[in-house]
Structure 1
Amino acid sequence: MSIDNLFKDAQIEANKGNIYNALLLLKNIWLKFPHNKRVFEEVIKLKNKNLIVLQTSLNQTLIDKYFKLHNEGKTEFVIEDLNKFYNKNKNDLYAVNLLGTFNGLINKFDLAIKFQQKSLYLNFFDQSNYLNLALTFIKCGHSEKALELLEIGRLINKKNTSINLELARLYFSLNKFSLSINVYENLLENNSDKLNINLEYIRTLIKGGESEKALTIIEKLQKNSLPNYKLSNLESLAHYYLNNFKMAQKCVDKALYLNEKNSDSYNIQGSIFEQSGQIDLAILNYKKSTYYNNKNYVAFSNLGVCLSYINEFELSVLNLKKAIEIKKSYFEASYRLGQIQIYTKNFSEGWKNFKYRWKTKDYNHKFLKTSKPILTNFKSKNRNILYWSEQGLGDQVMYGSMFNELSQLSSKVIIKLDERLIKVFKKKHPKIQFYANSDLINEDLYDEHIPFGDIGNYLRLKKEDFLKPNFPYINGKNSTKDFIIKKYKSSNTSLVGISWSSANYLLEKNKSLSLEQLYPILSNKNAVFISLEYKDHSKEMDEFFQKYKIKIFKEPSIDNFKDIEGLSSIIEACDYVITCSNTNAHLCGALNKKTYLLLAKGKGRLWNWSSNNGLSIWYPKIRIYQQEKIGDWTSPINRIKKEILNEKKIT
């Protein structure tokens, strides 16, 4: 639609008397065309045509008296008195406005919203109406409604400091960092001497991936001001995000020297210890952080996550819920809570909280762009549904355990996933239409859609639901499987698939092993080992052979990264598989192959590896061997070795 047509739509709404809708449309034009000056001309015209005559029976003396009474704890009396004015004149602007304010001050948010909305409709061009209602919506966790109001308020007066500041903060909390940075920079044009605005701006730069720029600004501010622990904390945070952990610690030490009781320093120090695997020290610092500031929702969230690493799940959940209680819009806490709840088999709550992943900073997957509605009702079968992938290859395989059920729940099922997986799923699911992620799917082909990560909220709500898949639900190629067996297997040995590294760049260090660490298992002379690795480990494999004369075979005709059908065929050929937590583990589970899973404790243990009596809840043929101590693989490796030796034949 052209910009002229957009302005016409706004004018039509204004002519109907729908002033708010007209302002909303003008706001959308401004966001889309930020340099268009006509937007502000239209706002001024709209304002001049809708001038109001102030109606009120209140004066400043009485208003001051009300606030004094509120400070004395007599807010209910104030509200009762204001209602008398309101009942006499429903359009008494000050009475309506103050009823919104005082109801909000005693947390009666429903009433606060009712009166603040009425105040807004009595005067669409008073920025304080937008600000007050937005702040109430933020307290209630309705961030998107608050965002709309603040953006309109800024359109009415883009120099209003209070609205700009709250808008910048809200953009920050919604992880819209570039927008937040832009608003802060506009604010600083007239408020460059305001340290608090500079501090918030620097924090936003760091979270928005501009730590180098943040450090430059910090250096300038430090030259022109006295030592400030808040600046030192931000300097530490910037170095932390640049992986300069020694400098981060040095800066946090300085901040603690300046103020030994400041909460943020302990939170940052906890993060430094957490990244180095020192979970006990991380927990200690997060606890100190919450002790010095019982409203530090980030510290409560970090503490909750770290407690889950040491299997303190009840305490973990309590701390994450505390973070959410303090700040409902801190979606990172809700997302982490969802993961832990799914892991601990609280599926109904877990899947609901898992949906908040889309609102977090670190969830880098893109939501599907479509005009079709999201699926919310699985009971109606007369629809065509598109289910689309959003996560890594292994997760897509895991969610594939529900594909057969999906094909029974609608007239047509369309699955969009990684192209490499189509061959292994297609034979087992002939009723499903598969498309690659790169394919553009005509919207006429489906009525509703849903991402893979939301399906569990309908189909995996109790432990018994995980028994529904028909295993195996993927397959390789028989001729390739036979070729591998003939080439590598002999009658007196087991053919064992081996995989020891993860491609997850955030958790690779925590989840992966080395061949050296696996020596106790690989020294088994009754086994032939074939690599399932999809990365090049030839150097490590050669060095291992030179040292121990143990050969790890790699089939040269199959690209384990590109050819998932070929890789699945190798797995099918194996008697059993030993793997860490990676895509191969999921393929083994889907193929119903007996598998020994080496699972990290702490950061490397992902939410989807919960178990029943040591067996994966998603894959009944995967037995899980978890570290007893974070970073130490000795115990799970020895347990696997012992179990293999105790079994004469593994099938």
Structure 2
Amino acid sequence: MPIHNLPHATALLPQALQHFQRGELDQASVLLQRILDRQPRDFDALHIMGVIHAMRGQPQMAVDCLNKALSVKKNNSFVHFNLARALIEMGKHEEALPHHRKATELAPEHAVAWLNYGKSLFELERISESITAFDRALQIQAGYAEALNNKGLALAELGRIPESIACFRQAIAQQPDLTDAHWNLALQQLKLGNYGAAWIDFEFRWGTEGYSKATWAEQKSGWQGNESSASLLLWGEQGIGDQILYASILPELATLPQKKYVALDKRLIPLFERSMPGFEFVDLATVSDALGFAEQLPLGSLPRLFRPDLASFARAHQPYLQADAGRSAELRLKIARGDRLVCGVSWSSKRQKLGACKSLDLAQMLTPLASSRLHFVDLQYGDTAAERQALQQAHGIEVQHVEEIDNFHDIDGLAALIEACDVVITTSNSTAHLAGALGKTTLLLLPLGKGQFWYWAEIDGHIPWYSSIQAFYQREAGNWQHPLQEIKAALETR
């Protein structure tokens, strides 16, 4: 319709609003665009159009519309609220803060506005302030499950685990189907070694971000841990580190009579075939019904059946992975430097969201540790040439890189290289899991709060999953000085 033939904008707005309220976003947006073609600064049309863009998963377009709306009316609490939400979707928490503040200032009794404010403060690591915001939301709306769940996360970040558990339980009591609260409760229970209770809530992981099941897993019966004549598929979930972790239980299943397939990242298969007879290992990426299995279970559900309490870890076979002895012996000849202690090092995690807080620069790791009695070997996956060269030029510290081993693609080769080292120093990544599964003495650097995963928690003074790993913790977030000093002292005793 030509612009000059449009009905008056004010006549179209009620129609657009009706479509919007019925969830008819296409019809609403057509009418809103007609209004904006005639009146580009129509506040209501800009606001509703911005909300529609946000609902369609178009946060940048939402931000553009909502900023235009604010240029017309700068003190509307709902526009500030919706603009802050769109910025959160884009990960722009710092940019969202002034809009959170304005939304809560203009509408101080808006519980969701306080909740969102707290979420951004949490992401910006302003943890105590985030708790204040969550508490304000709870003052306005007692028993607000989302606020309780997020407050629990913030308390856990401060190491106040029992208080965080209480928050998650309250959230579940208010909203039993709140998947994130069940999942968060499981993770904190695991940190305390409350395994029996934790594994029940651990199954809620399938409703959280990053977890999904293939169609073949949904269609097959879930194995209950029993002996059977029916063939069984145990399949890996998440990344290589998680697959190695949960596979620690597999040796206890080797004597079960049924045919046992184990689907893993294909890079792990040569190492596992050597280490664990009694299973047929297959590439996780190619699994289908054609394999002919009758029952299935994700590896992450094995602990619910076989690790109900701390005492059950006594059944674990440690180490449970075996490197290629011949290859390891050859590598030892290449990396040995007389009587110097050969230290394999890995300093970075590429994990999305949390990788940065678990990582440090190579120079940051090794300048406090360097000594004439230590020789460093590169175990880090990815291209490390620039970092190694910069370290040698600036500090005279060599980190030997073994060219024949691709630390990312050749996991069997990496295992042999780890076995050839005297000790491993690493951050929380797949190298740490691999070293632990091989039984290699490992000094593990762990962050405070974010990135300190449940499986590294020390129970009764040790990490139950890996007896050869010793953890060294940050005392303040982002500061590696203290754990590096402790590792230096530990190396001096070897």
Same-fold call, TM cutoff 0.5: yes
| Pairing 1:246–2:86 present | no
Other-structure match for 2:420: 573
Other-structure match for 1:514: 361
SS in 2 for 1:608: helix
| Pairing 1:411–2:251 present | no
| Pairing 1:616–2:463 present | yes
| Pairing 1:480–2:327 present | yes
State the distance in 1 between where 2:55 and 2:427 align: 32
Question: Post-superposition shift, 1:604?
Answer: 1.1
Contact 1:572 1:591 in 2 (8 A): yes
Which residues of structure 1 form unaligned runs of 5+?
1-160, 169-182
Question: Post-superposition shift, 1:447?
Answer: 1.1
State the distance in 2 between where 1:373 and 1:217 align: 47
Quickly say closer, same or farther: Cα 1:289–1:493, change in 2 above 3 A: same
Question: Post-superposition shift, 1:520?
Answer: 5.0
State the distance in 1 between where 2:294 and 2:272 align: 23
SS in 1 for 2:311: helix
| Pairing 1:545–2:385 present | no
Provide the alpha-carbon RMSD of the alignment: 2.9
Question: Post-superposition shift, 1:388?
Answer: 1.0
Which residue identity lines up with residue 338 of structure 1 in the other structure? A
The higher relative CO (CA closer than 8 Å, separation ≥ 6) is in: 2
SS in 1 for 2:394: helix
SS in 2 for 1:243: coil
State the distance in 2 between where 1:204 and 1:531 align: 50
Other-structure match for 1:528: 375
Match of 2:314 among 463, 467, 471: 467
Quickly say closer, same or farther: Cα 1:355–1:416, change in 2 above 3 A: same
State the distance in 1 between where 2:109 and 2:141 align: 9
Contact 2:112 2:137 in 1 (8 A): yes
Other-structure match for 2:199: 351
Contact 2:189 2:195 in 1 (8 A): yes
Contact 1:510 1:631 in 2 (8 A): yes
Contact 1:571 1:593 in 2 (8 A): yes
Contact 2:25 2:52 in 1 (8 A): no
Other-structure match for 1:185: 25
State the distance in 2 between where 1:375 and 1:418 align: 21
Quickly say closer, same or farther: Cα 1:204–1:615, change in 2 above 3 A: farther
Contact 2:223 2:232 in 1 (8 A): no
Other-structure match for 1:313: 161
Percent identical among aligned pairs is 26
Other-structure match for 1:439: 286
State the distance in 1 between where 2:147 and 2:63 align: 23
Match of 2:338 among 487, 491, 500: 491
Could you give the per-residue CA deviations for residues 233-257 of structure 1, whole angstroms, max 9, x where no partner exists? 2211211222333320121122123
Question: Post-superposition shift, 1:225?
Answer: 7.3
Quickly say closer, same or farther: Cα 1:618–1:204, change in 2 above 3 A: farther
State the distance in 2 between where 1:341 and 1:191 align: 52
Contact 2:321 2:438 in 1 (8 A): yes
Which residue identity lines up with residue 357 of structure 1 in the other structure? R
State the distance in 2 between where 1:401 and 1:548 align: 40
Contact 1:385 1:410 in 2 (8 A): no
| Pairing 1:294–2:134 present | no
Contact 2:233 2:263 in 1 (8 A): yes
Question: Post-superposition shift, 1:227?
Answer: 4.1
State the distance in 2 between where 1:205 and 1:409 align: 55
Question: Post-superposition shift, 1:184?
Answer: 5.5
Quickly say closer, same or farther: Cα 1:307–1:233, change in 2 above 3 A: same
| Pairing 1:337–2:177 present | no
SS in 1 for 2:456: coil
Contact 1:389 1:416 in 2 (8 A): yes
Could you give the per-residue CA deviations for residues 320-363 of structure 1, whole angstroms, max 9, x where no partner exists? 12222222232111111111112221212211111111112x22
Contact 2:47 2:69 in 1 (8 A): no
State the distance in 2 between where 1:203 and 1:417 align: 43
Q: TM-score, normalised by structure 1?
A: 0.67
Q: TM-score, normalised by structure 2?
A: 0.87
State the distance in 2 between where 1:599 and 1:334 align: 25
State the distance in 1 between where 2:432 and 2:321 align: 13
| Pairing 1:603–2:443 present | no
Question: Post-superposition shift, 1:370?
Answer: 4.8
Question: Post-superposition shift, 1:230?
Answer: 2.9
Could you give the per-residue CA deviations for residues 437-460 of structure 1, whole angstroms, max 9, x where no partner exists? 122334562111111121111111
| Pairing 1:323–2:171 present | yes
Could you give the per-residue CA deviations for residues 189-245 of structure 1, whole angstroms, max 9, x where no partner exists? 89989x99x999977964874312333453576578784323312211211222333
State the distance in 1 between where 2:154 and 2:188 align: 11
State the distance in 1 between where 2:466 and 2:392 align: 33
Contact 1:390 1:452 in 2 (8 A): yes
Which residue identity lines up with residue 608 of structure 1 in the other structure? Y
Other-structure match for 2:6: none
Match of 1:502 among 324, 342, 349: 349
Contact 1:615 1:621 in 2 (8 A): no
SS in 2 for 1:264: helix
Other-structure match for 1:402: 249
Rg comparison, structure with higher value: 1
| Pairing 1:276–2:124 present | yes
Quickly say closer, same or farther: Cα 1:376–1:228, change in 2 above 3 A: farther
After TM superposition, list the pairs within 5 Å mapping 1:584-599 onto structure 2. Answer: 584-599=431-446
Question: Post-superposition shift, 1:364?
Answer: 4.5
Question: Post-superposition shift, 1:576?
Answer: 0.7
SS in 1 for 2:402: coil
Contact 1:614 1:624 in 2 (8 A): no
State the distance in 2 between where 1:564 and 1:227 align: 57
Could you give the per-residue CA deviations for residues 538-578 of structure 1, whole angstroms, max 9, x where no partner exists? 21211111111010111111100000000000100011111
The answer to which of 236-245 and 633-642 deviates more is: 236-245
Instruction: Give the number of aligned pairs.
Output: 467
Could you give the per-residue CA deviations for residues 588-617 of structure 1, whole angstroms, max 9, x where no partner exists? 110000101101111111122121344211
Could you give the per-residue CA deviations for residues 126-147 of structure 1, whole angstroms, max 9, x where no partner exists? xxxxxxxxxxxxxxxxxxxxxx
The answer to which of 249-258 and 523-532 deviates more is: 249-258
Which residue identity lines up with residue 259 of structure 1 in the other structure? A
